[in-house]
Structure 1
Amino acid sequence: MASDDLSTRISDLGRSLDSIEAVADLPKLRSEIGELEQQVAAPDLWDDQENAQRITSQLSAKQGEVDRLVSLRSRLDDAELMLGMAEDEGDAETRQEVAGELERLARDIATLEVRTLLSGDYDPRDALITIRAEAGGVDAADFAEMLMRMYLRWADRHGYATEVYDTSYAEEAGLKSATFAVKAPFAYGTLSVEQGTHRLVRISPFDNQGRRQTSFAGVEVLPVTEETDHIDIPEAELRIDVFRSSGPGGQSVNTTDSAVRITHLPTGIVVSCQNEKSQLQNKAAALRVLQSRLLERARSEREKELNALKGDGGNSWGAQMRSYVTHPYQMVKDLRTEHEVGNPDAVFDGDIDGFIDAGIRWRKKTEAQA
């Protein structure tokens, strides 16, 4: 690539980064980081462990966001400096290095640019994810556990905090269901495009005859409730049951009845939490999950009313949204966006940014056409 083309590329990437920095509002982010650092320094911070974890998680996420933007700007400045030196010295090898770095920068900036498309009311919030095994027996339960690991690995790759609230293990292998939170700015807006039915096609490791098996798992993504949501749940509407936590194969992992199951009687919604140490902590966590489900129920009902007024009887989201195939060929394909890769192992190890970015762009385009 000629030096003039590289200079133009640097200018284009600089404008994209300017736009991202404006949306992120770096001065505001740094101000919020300063306030959170003061709260973290308070000697009584850990008197309220739940609040302390929330504050430290927010600080880590916001600092990570600033660090990513600062790093991208520094890399772009370094590339411009290297290009200038290459031109002065007629160094073709350095010019090639700059071209490679600009390609990497373009991918990284495009990923952050997707954030500017997240403008929903709940998009900035933490995400509450529930994964359930569906059709496919033990393979579906195993698939549900694979998906949980995939999302936890994705969060770990980005330095996002996670908290597992409940894991219900299947008898032979895998999970019946699991609920966990991803704590990061815009986690809900980012991960909400993962909601739907996921499909796995593979040679079943649980079939003695080595036959191909198709199994399904459902992913639900909700925004975590905040104090401003004001969801009042009268005690009379709740049935609270306590039981012993269980691990794989149904074995008891606790000698006391610390796990909590809450049933919301008017709606029939059932939530449980067994991963905290005390019954009180599990009850508080289960109530947070219930509030998120009720919040989403209210949002969904409002959306249906608006769609009815617009003459749109249903939404544009299909239930089955992604296929993972490991036999007879290797492929993961999103059925809405057509985004496709040929390395399922990498995807199951948390490499899903391409699918998430394509999903967000697809949703924005779909909304604009509605």
Structure 2
Amino acid sequence: MASLQHPHHAYRHVTVGGTNGKGTLAFNLMKQLPGKVGLFCSPHLVDIRERITINGNFVADRVWQEAYAFLSQKIDPRTLSYFELMLLTAVVVFQREAVDWAVFEVGLGGRWDAVNALAPELMVLTNVSLDHTRILGDTVEAIALVKIDIARTGKPFILPASIYNYPSVKTRLLEIKPLIKTYSDKGTIEDNLTCYNRLCYFLPIQPLSELALPLGRKMKVSQNLYVDASHNRAGWQSTVLWLQKHHPSPIRMLCNLSADRNVGEFVSIFKNISADMVVLPGDYEKVYRGVWPETVRFGDWNDLSTLMQEPVLVTGSLYFVGEFLRRFPTI
């Protein structure tokens, strides 16, 4: 950031962290903040340009190319991780496009995430549950201690009351000294609407009665097609609750997972709503390559028209849902 002369200082920005819900919250902040608003999010589902948008629109290829050329003059791109390169591209693009606001979604954790190099005027933590435990810790409290380090001294930091109530979290926040504001949450299931409306006290946004959902999240495409890019235990539990409202009878599932997921946990969570669980091949780098229980069956993308002759739920992984959407671009 210093070598680029701190381009992120050119506009007001917000950092959004959390295990679940941060993509949805960031998306709604982008839609509701005034003026020209940039959004940096990850991963992308269909097109890499989803990661850097302005007011919900793709940025012109020329702008990407010019930002990359500028970066390459200042920093050797080979010294950066993929995520770091995307973040630096975003901060430069937003500066060059003269955004009024930008919303940055944390990639992983908080303390050591590249987004934490920014200087936000407000930080929000949507939810904390067990995910990426080999990296972040094996308890909610341990993970929370990593995620709350996006907080800044004297700046508003909004987080769930259930997370703030951990003694170690309170101790750490006393050291950081942010302006702490909590909201009543539902524990392991994220409550994005309550979180968003709490932010109305600190940002120039209006309260909402319902949140808009980004691509791939809780999409009821038709009476026969439901899509949700949930990708961890808390997300899968949320998918079950959502589907039960819209399709109370058992449904065929088309699914695959990411490499670090617990397949037994996935099958157990969905067993009561799944009439038939069909695993389709995942053509993505982080696809799960372990053993599936005998209760599932394996299909092929060539069989999709037959598989979708009855209602289906597509879920299990952000990457898998992205692959499904690429094969059905009209959705």
Normalization by structure 1: what TM-score? 0.24
Normalization by structure 2: what TM-score? 0.26
Q: Which structure: larger Rg? A: 1
Structure 1 or 2: larger helix share? Answer: 1
Identify which of structures 1 and 2 has the higher relative contact order when contacts are C-alpha pairs closer than 8 Å and 6+ apart: 2
